[in-house]
Chain A
Amino acid sequence: MAQIMSGAKMVVQALIDQGVDTVFGYPGGAVLPIYDEIFQQNNIKHFLVRHEQGAVHAAEGYARSTGKPGVVLVTSGPGATNAVTGLTDALMDSIPIIVMTGQVPTFMIGSDAFQEADTVGITRPCTKHNWLVKDTEELAETLHTAFHVAKTGRPGPVLVDIPKDVQFADGTYKGPAKVKSHYQPKVKGDIKVITQLVEAIENAKKPVFYTGGGVINSGPAASQLLRELVAGTNFPITSTLMGLGSYPAKGDNWLGMLGMHGLYQANMAMHDCDLMINIGARFDDRITGRLDAFSPGSIKAHVDIDPSSINKVIHVDIPIVGDVGHVLEDLLNIWKSRGRKTQTKSLIDWWDQIDSWRQIRCLDYKVDTKTIKPQYALERLEALTKDHDRFITTEVGQHQMWAAQYLGFNDPNRWMTSGGLGTMGYGFPASIGVQVAHPESLVINVAGEASWLMNMQEMGTAMQYGLPVKQFILNNERLGMVRQWQELLHGERYSQSWSESLPDFVKLAEAFGAKGILCTDPADLDDAIIEMLKYSGPVIFDCAVEKHENCFPMIPSGKAHNEMLLGDASTDGAIDAAGSVLV
């Protein structure tokens, strides 16, 4: 039965039919008809953010912590342009997001109308796909296709631009079942190539699994299969920033994160391995370091759902295009049917080697009894929260790397951080999105004071909806990572990298009606964290930390994995002239 309804009503109906119950957004002139429909129903809960960037990051947090797509509704012009950073962030980290933007009426498009922007033009390079809907008859189909594209294959953000007259006009609604898309990326890997990988696994003497966000995007089953494979083969495993939690940090085979601020044993294993099995990661420059010295002696296998990821920066010997879950299932079946073979004797030597690297204890730092070391703060946060039902988000910078190093993630979808784009201001709104999805869980945003201030307006959102997000700010009154690079690379000329005129975070919290906690003494830290955890509402925790602490280990730009700087190592001349042009 054909259903005739207005475009605005279609938007709400399409969301309901797609199983959406949560929308993050901000109204404006060009989306008023949709907001009017939202007002008249109870199926979808709308969360009013304080800035459109916050809406997209909140949707990202929601998506990453649930595995469901996040939905955003904003107005035309500035509403759309404010969403651009979030869209780019979601594109880089492959997060499924559906952003609906209002647009000026079709007959005014191109006239420089009030709050008009070429939204599809602006967002074309920062979405997986986008649509301008010019006819209400096409609206429902476009929305359902948008959900399909966002979720299918390598996930990503999509945008549907809906002119105001299309929202007002009547059209025929189509349900999701009636919409067929030609977009059907292949999920099954080539069995012949998977068998080749099994052979490599059977013969490898120094193998390592290098896993990424693709394992998490593939769903919880993929993480389970990965754990089974690691347990079965007894191979060591490391992960990118994006993939933390797919294999448990408390697992025996866990080496810790790899990359620029990865653990010594993880990077050394990558450098010295003879078989590298990349599962759902993309050889990002934060991972590889110097390309011509990247893991020189290894055979490289790469499982990725996106064919363009394969051989993009690193030539691989065993390329497998497919969904991680499907490929791992086939891989396990073939490996088992061939007798579950590995080079067990060689693996013992390999593990001995890895254990000797572990003895370096690369995360050790000088403890201070007077000043809170940021590492200490995170160690205590870990100790006091690890048994909670806990989700962590972060901003971007030193605190983000320390969080990745010192916090343990034992399950997927528990760790939300801006990896590819490195968006300062991501963590706070993301924590709001996570808390919306998991109202009873403990949600902590590990932040730096500078990043946090970039989207601090979202305190209003947290208060309005009673979202008890904990903002754990490691406050060094510096742009810590910028400062670290200036120290190592720019002759200690700290150009614009300090945080002048910081607010009193306790008073700031109180001004919003939240709780503020200031902690300056390591001796008080545990009690202060416990106080934060006990409080039922949002907390801004101002943790005054050592101002000049550097984040180690570090692979300086232009260096190889085995040229890591450790905490006590001299940093003089760490980055040469060629490396200094890299970021």
Chain B
Amino acid sequence: MSALKIKKGTTSKSAYNLRSNYDDTIEKHTLAVLVANEPGVLARVVGLFSGRGYNIESLTVAVVQEEHTSRITIVTTGTPQVIEQIKAQLGRIVPVYEVHDLTVEGHSVERELSLFKVTGTGEKRVEALRLADVFRANVVDSTLNNFTFEVVGSPEKIDAFAELMRPLGLSEMARTGVAALSRG
């Protein structure tokens, strides 16, 4: 084997002790998938994830640019090998035009929109409004007992806001899932 002009490290990653030599760390990746805007294409993508046992953390889809193209943004988790498989399997779907892994293809921006209904009175109500201001949340609805806040930001920012609102009377929340674009 040593006579072969291939770096030694590459073969130790071969099938020998295959399972344990694979990197077991679970990574989170954001994938942008450009698809033909045709019936069933979302079912194909979602069916691929359920059929092969992959995870979906969030998924958003809408028509973009021309009317025939939709952009699906998927946040998924898995080992590096599974992430590679997900991308390759997505690429096999006939109406999929492009698959981009925004997590590895340079910098990207991720935004999510969320709505929070916070119910409370007195000091808690005031505190909720004050924190909402810090997070640059908009009040989109209010009654005497509750506020509905709109927060736009990274998933982490929304998580943080949810944490703060929980003791202040968070009663309902809705999130759109991540939309993402590469920078530059």
Expressed in whole angstroms, the minimum distance between the Cβ of A161 and any Cβ of chain B is: 11
> With a CB–CB cut-off of 8 A, which chain B residues contact A125?
47, 51
Q: Mark A172-198, 1 if CB is under 8 A from B, else 0.
A: 000000000011000000000000100
> With a CB–CB cut-off of 8 A, which chain B residues contact A275?
4
* Chain A minimum-CB-distance residue to B84: A311
Question: Quick check: A315 and B14 within 8 Å, CB to CB?
Answer: yes
> With a CB–CB cut-off of 8 A, which chain B residues contact A120?
40
Given A291-B19, A292-B20: A343 and B47 within 8 A (CB)? no
Given A124-B47, A292-B17: A132 and B39 within 8 A (CB)? yes
- Interchain CA distance A506-B140 in the complex, whole Å: 82
Expressed in whole angstroms, the minimum distance between the Cβ of B49 and any Cβ of chain A is: 12
Q: Looking at the complex, which of A7-15, A299-307, A328-336, A548-556 is the stretch in contact with chain B? A: A299-307
Expressed in whole angstroms, the minimum distance between the Cβ of A199 and any Cβ of chain B is: 5
* Chain A minimum-CB-distance residue to B50: A125
Expressed in whole angstroms, the minimum distance between the Cβ of B33 and any Cβ of chain A is: 15
- For residue B58, CB closer than 8 A to chain A, the reply is no
- For residue A129, CB closer than 8 A to chain B, the reply is yes
Given A129-B94, A308-B92, A311-B84: A317 and B6 within 8 A (CB)? yes
> With a CB–CB cut-off of 8 A, which chain A residues contact B1?
274, 297-299
- Interchain CA distance A404-B105 in the complex, whole Å: 47
Q: Mark B6-40, 1 if CB is under 8 A from A, else 0.
A: 10001101111111111000000000000010011
Expressed in whole angstroms, the minimum distance between the Cβ of A148 and any Cβ of chain B is: 10
- For residue A19, CB closer than 8 A to chain B, the reply is no
Question: Quick check: B15 and A291 within 8 Å, CB to CB?
Answer: yes
Expressed in whole angstroms, the minimum distance between the Cβ of B43 and any Cβ of chain A is: 6
* Chain A minimum-CB-distance residue to B21: A315
Q: Mark A203-219, 1 if CB is under 8 A from B, else 0.
A: 11100000000000000
* Chain B minimum-CB-distance residue to A310: B88
> With a CB–CB cut-off of 8 A, which chain B residues contact A296?
14-16
Question: Quick check: A298 and B18 within 8 Å, CB to CB?
Answer: no
Tell me the A2-27 residues at the B interface (CB within 8 Å).
none
Among B4, B18, B51, B85, the residue within 8 A (CB) of A308 is B85
Among A128, A288, A297, A312, the residue within 8 A (CB) of B16 is A297
Q: Mark A100-123, 1 if CB is under 8 A from B, else 0.
A: 000000000000000000001100
> With a CB–CB cut-off of 8 A, which chain A residues contact B97?
182
Among A182, A183, A308, the residue within 8 A (CB) of B88 is A308
> With a CB–CB cut-off of 8 A, which chain A residues contact B88?
307-308, 310, 312
Expressed in whole angstroms, the minimum distance between the Cβ of B47 and any Cβ of chain A is: 6
> With a CB–CB cut-off of 8 A, which chain A residues contact B95?
129
> With a CB–CB cut-off of 8 A, which chain B residues contact A203?
3-5
- Interchain CA distance A298-B18 in the complex, whole Å: 13
Q: Mark B140-154, 1 if CB is under 8 A from A, else 0.
A: 000000000000000
> With a CB–CB cut-off of 8 A, which chain A residues contact B51?
125
- For residue A32, CB closer than 8 A to chain B, the reply is no
Question: Quick check: A308 and B89 within 8 Å, CB to CB?
Answer: yes
> With a CB–CB cut-off of 8 A, which chain B residues contact A205?
3
Q: Mark B82-109, 1 if CB is under 8 A from A, else 0.
A: 0011001101111101000000000000
Tell me the A82-111 residues at the B interface (CB within 8 Å).
none
- Interchain CA distance A204-B19 in the complex, whole Å: 26
Given A200-B6, A203-B4, A306-B92: A317 and B15 within 8 A (CB)? no
Question: Quick check: B4 and A288 within 8 Å, CB to CB?
Answer: no
Given A121-B43, A274-B1: A314 and B92 within 8 A (CB)? no
Q: Mark B111-125, 1 if CB is under 8 A from A, else 0.
A: 000000000000000
- For residue B175, CB closer than 8 A to chain A, the reply is no
- Interchain CA distance A274-B4 in the complex, whole Å: 9
* Chain A minimum-CB-distance residue to B18: A291
Question: Quick check: A204 and B16 within 8 Å, CB to CB?
Answer: no
> With a CB–CB cut-off of 8 A, which chain A residues contact B94?
128-129, 149, 183
Q: Mark A127-168, 1 if CB is under 8 A from B, else 0.
A: 011001000000000000000010000000000000000000
Question: Quick check: B15 and A288 within 8 Å, CB to CB?
Answer: yes
Question: Quick check: B43 and A317 within 8 Å, CB to CB?
Answer: no
Question: Quick check: A307 and B14 within 8 Å, CB to CB?
Answer: no
> With a CB–CB cut-off of 8 A, which chain B residues contact A254?
none
> With a CB–CB cut-off of 8 A, which chain A residues contact B21?
315
Question: Quick check: B39 and A343 within 8 Å, CB to CB?
Answer: no
- For residue B55, CB closer than 8 A to chain A, the reply is no
Among A149, A182, A307, the residue within 8 A (CB) of B91 is A307
Expressed in whole angstroms, the minimum distance between the Cβ of B12 and any Cβ of chain A is: 10
Expressed in whole angstroms, the minimum distance between the Cβ of A67 and any Cβ of chain B is: 22
Question: Quick check: B10 and A294 within 8 Å, CB to CB?
Answer: no
- For residue B171, CB closer than 8 A to chain A, the reply is no
Q: Residues on B close to A: CB < 8 A?
A: 1, 3-6, 10-11, 13-22, 36, 39-40, 43-44, 47, 51, 81, 84-85, 88-89, 91-95, 97
A–B complex contacts, Cβ < 8 Å, 7 sampled: A121-B40, A124-B40, A132-B39, A200-B4, A308-B88, A308-B92, A310-B88
Other 16 A-B pairs with CB < 8 A, given A293-B16, A311-B85: A132-B39, A182-B97, A203-B5, A274-B1, A274-B4, A292-B17, A292-B19, A292-B20, A294-B15, A296-B16, A299-B14, A308-B92, A315-B15, A317-B13, A317-B14, A318-B6
- What are the nearest 5 A-B pairs in CB distance? A308-B88, A296-B16, A129-B94, A294-B15, A307-B88
Q: Residues on A close to B: CB < 8 A?
A: 120-121, 124-125, 128-129, 132, 149, 182-183, 196, 199-200, 203-205, 274-275, 288, 291-300, 306-308, 310-312, 314-318, 343
